[in-house]
Amino acid sequence: MTSQPNMANTNQPNFPQVEGGASLILAWQIKNKTVLVVGGGEVAAGRILNVLNADANVIVVCPSSGLNPEVRHRIDSSEVTHIDRFFEPVDLDALPPSNAPPDMVLVAIDDPAASTQIWKLCKEHRIPANIADVPSECDFYFGSVHRDGPLQIMVSTNGKGPRLAASIRKWIGNQLPAGVGNAIERIGELRIKLRKMAPNHADGPKRMRWMTRVSDAYSWDDMCALADEDMDNLLKFYQSGKVPELHALKAMRGGKAPEDLDVFDGSFGFSVVA
């Protein structure tokens, strides 16, 4: 009797394989959230800058004698609120000025036993925390970040090689074209203008397709060079779904309408990206 081939695995879906051991890298929106920083040294200063850049409300708990010059500057400039004492468990229940629990806790002190105790208290209160230099006592890590205006690129080694992460981040930053942050800023402004012009939810797919064409049609330098008048003129092509070449767009300066340009005679044209 002839055996039949095993057909069980012939139609297996080609899905990505799971690779464990990673962190879930997210952009955590903490604007106007309360972040408690325990400590006032060099590491605390870096943590404070990170969360201030994300527009958080920062409370620093540390005796004045333990403040380094940068943290003291943040306090003197009223960029953070300072509580001049050591951490107390009550800090996880209510903090000024809102008298509410912190949304995040960052610990950067040279006392492993005290750090672990704070970590355990945070777990009891279900408050996400990061204990500097103790990966096992961290709900999240700080990666090495390249920043250029709205552009942020984070490199993480999951705590295994921070110095290597910094080197990779510098290499990536050096490969990016100059002005990329400004170009992204201009794209963001154009999206805001477009959403005001076509605000309905049903317009979403068309807006996304047209913005993709705009992003593909112009270089970084071209986007940086667009004036407000250029962006207003560019929006005139949205309904048609077309994107004018840059020299055609510049020719509209001074109040010329698209129909005033001889856009189909070879001098001007449309660059429509599928």
Are the C-beta atoms of residues 174 and 166 closer than 8 Å to each other?
no
CA distances from 163 to 33, 43, 144, 154 (A): 30, 15, 9, 14
Q: Which residues contact 52 (CB under 8 A, 6 or more apart)?
A: 58, 74, 79, 80
Q: Which residue has the tokens 């962190």?
A: 23
Annotation marks residue 133 as catalytic: yes
In this structure, the chain runs to a length of: 274
Token digits of residue 82: 């300072």
Burial-class residue 53 by CB neighbours within 10 Å (0-12, 13-18, 19+).
Answer: exposed
Backbone φ and ψ for 58, nearest 5 degrees, come out as: -110, 130
Name the active-site residue from 84, 103, 111, 133: 133
d(CA 211, CA 34): 36
Cα–Cα distance for residue pair 75/59, rounded to 1 Å:
10
Give catalytic residue positions. 133
